[in-house]
Structures are given as structure tokens and as C-alpha cells.
Amino acid sequence: MIQPVLQVQNLHTCFFTDRGEVPAVDGVSLMVNPGEVLGIVGESGCGKSVTSLSVLKLIPEPPGKITGGSILFKGRDLVPLKEREMRSIRGDSISMIFQEPMTSLNPLFTVGDQIGEAVRLHRGLRRKEARRHTVEMLRKVGIPRPEAVLDEYPHQLSGGMRQRVMIAMAISCNPELLIADEPTTALDVTIQAQILDLIRRLNEENGTAVMLITHDLGVVAEMCHRVVVMYAGKVVEEGAVCDIFKNPLHPYTQGLIQSVPRMNEQRSRLFSIPGNVPVLYADMKGCRFADRCPSAMSLCLERLPELREYGAAHSCRCWIHETQEDAV
């Protein structure tokens, strides 16, 4: 058996607010294998980004806190590690491409200073060596005239260029796991394709494992090997990309796929899943999707189903399939 690069087991991340405890990530388990691209999909507020921030222990305390579970990176649990130990891992073994580079890059420092800092910290390079390495990284991510961009500030660059700088910073220490949180948000279609192609090449050429967080099923179909579907802090379905698209089991996954526009279909109106994501609270009962599900039963409102396997490496959390199995 190949040891996963990342194995998240029964992760609970909560936010403590004036209206009570909010379980943003509620018992999530997933793994990323070496050289694999794992997609995590779901609506805004489903817990995708909080899961990724929990892996790097970047949840602000207070109001947030990891309250249970384990995060195993190459067999080592990150949850009990002190901040000093985590700093040696972030940007080195595990790197992250954030959703909005303008808020992630420091406006007071040049591009060269920000990338060079990570290289000097984790690789022990001197300033001149770090500068040469930074130029190589900028050239690798397709930035023209990298020697000049090195001395520019983030506000002087376009959105696509800033995202490339974020990727150059993320790969500067050759990480074993790259977490990409909506890396193409707010970029035009041409730049989106270039950014995704860059991430794909990093995965294929360097064998970097990638955890790709997105709401775009087209990106998942193009980029990922496996996919985890999240809803209201829970994993509701998991499997190989081909299985998820050909045979989606959970009604929520079916709704997501049905809502994707198709060129060969004549529809007067695009399909959308009715209702809204529920407000999360600590003692929720039943299936989180029950209020929006066209196939909901009384059982769905009363008890939360377990995540069970249906076929090879295809899991689903739904009472419909369990009652169908019992009937058979």
C-alpha cells in the first residue's frame, strides 16, 4: 500500500460565535495520494476552504478552532504541532495558492522579496542565490521579463500575473503537496486555462500532489483524478472523476451535474437546485440536504446517514441507496 501524502480523519473545525457553535467542518475524512489531483467541490459555505486552511492550521483562533480529528501529513499528525513547527512545514513541504492574490501578497514588499524570503527561510540560500532562484521560478510560471518583475510591487501587476507570482512562491521550495483554493477565481477564461495548465504541468513533471478546491465541475473533469463532494460541512460523495460524472449517487451531486450548461441542449432556463444551504449549528439532525432534496423521506429528516461504499472506491452518504439495498 502506498502511503497517502495527506490523510484527514474525522476532522472537526468549529467557529464560536454569539449565536453558538458553528461546525464549519463536521467529521470530514479524505486523503491525497502521491502524484494525485484531488478535487473538492461544493457550494459556497460548504466547508471547502475551511478544510484547506485547517490542513495548514491557518484557522484564526479565536473564533475558530480545530476541535477533533487528525491531519496526517506523510504519517505525522499536524494537529498537535506548535506554531513554530508548522512554520517549518508551510511553504516548504505544503504550499497553498490562495483564492485572491491581492489580499495574500504583501503590498509593501516587492515580488522578489516575498518569494526570496521563503527560499532563504526553508532552503538556507543567501540573498544573491535566492534572487537567482526567484528569477527561475518566475520564468517557470510563464512571467515575461522576470528580472524586471522581481523588483515590482503586487499592485503593479495584473490579476493573472499576481496569480502566477503566488504559484511561483508556492512551488519555490518544491512542495510535496500543493493546495489550490479557487486558483482561477476572477480571472478571464484565457488566463484561467493558462493557470490550470501550469498546475497540471507541476503535477505531471514534479509529481506534486494537488488538492484543488473549486466550484467549477468543468475544471474538475479536466484536472482531477478523484473528487470529494462537500455539503454543509459534510462529505456527501467521493469517488473517481469518471464514476462521479457517469453515475452520481447523491441527489446533491446529481443536481450539481444537472446544473452544468450543455452546448447541445435547448433549455429555456438553466437548472438550479432549489433552496439554500442550511444555517449550521452544533446539534443538527438528519441529512443536511433533506430540505432541498426531491427524493427526501421522513428518515432523512430524523437521522444522518453514514458515508458508505457503493462499488470500488465510490462512497455516498444517502438513505435512498441504503433503503434500496435493504429492499433487495
pLDDT digit string, tens, across residues 231-244 = 999 999 999 999 99
- The CA distance from 141 to 129, in Å, is 19
Kindly report, residue by residue over 128-180, the tens digit of the pLDDT.
888 898 998 888 888 888 899 999 999 998 888 888 888 888 888 888 999 99
The C-alpha cell that represents 285 in the structure block: 439532525
Amino acid letter for position 286 = G
- The CA distance from 123 to 180, in Å, is 22
- Res. 322: pLDDT tops 80: no
List C-alpha distances in Å: 93 to 12, 147, 170, 209, 212.
23, 26, 10, 11, 17
Kindly report, residue by residue over 282-307, the tens digit of the pLDDT.
788 899 999 999 888 999 999 999 99
Q: What is the mean pLDDT of residues 208-228?
A: 91
Where are the domain boundaries for CATH 3.40.50.300 in the chain? 6-81+176-188+197-262+270-277
Kindly report, residue by residue over 74-93, the tens digit of the pLDDT.
999 999 999 999 988 988 88
Amino acid letter for position 89 = I
What CATH number does domain 6-81+176-188+197-262+270-277 carry, 3.30.1490.20, 3.30.420.40, 3.40.50.300, 3.10.20.600?
A: 3.40.50.300
* DSSP bridge pairs for 32: 6
- The CA distance from 328 to 324, in Å, is 6
- The CA distance from 155 to 217, in Å, is 31
Q: How confident is the model at residue 246 (pLDDT cuts 50, 70, 90)?
A: very high
Q: Which residues contact 128 (CB under 8 A, 6 or more apart)?
A: none
Mean pLDDT of the chain, nearest integer: 88
Cis? peptide before 63, omega within 30° of 0: yes
pLDDT at 268: 66
Residue environment code for 233-260, b if the CB has 16+ CB neighbours within 10 A, otherwise e = bbbbbbbbbebbbeebbbbbbbbbeeee
- The CA distance from 95 to 210, in Å, is 10
Please name which of 220, 186, 196 lies closest in space to residue 230, comparing C-alpha atoms. 220
Assign 258 to helix, strand or coil.
helix
User: Could you tell me whether strands 6-17 and 64-73 are parallel, antiparallel, or unpaired per DSSP bridges?
Assistant: antiparallel
Residue environment code for 136-162, b if the CB has 16+ CB neighbours within 10 A, otherwise e = ebbebbbbeebeebbeeebeebeebbb
- The CA distance from 65 to 16, in Å, is 8
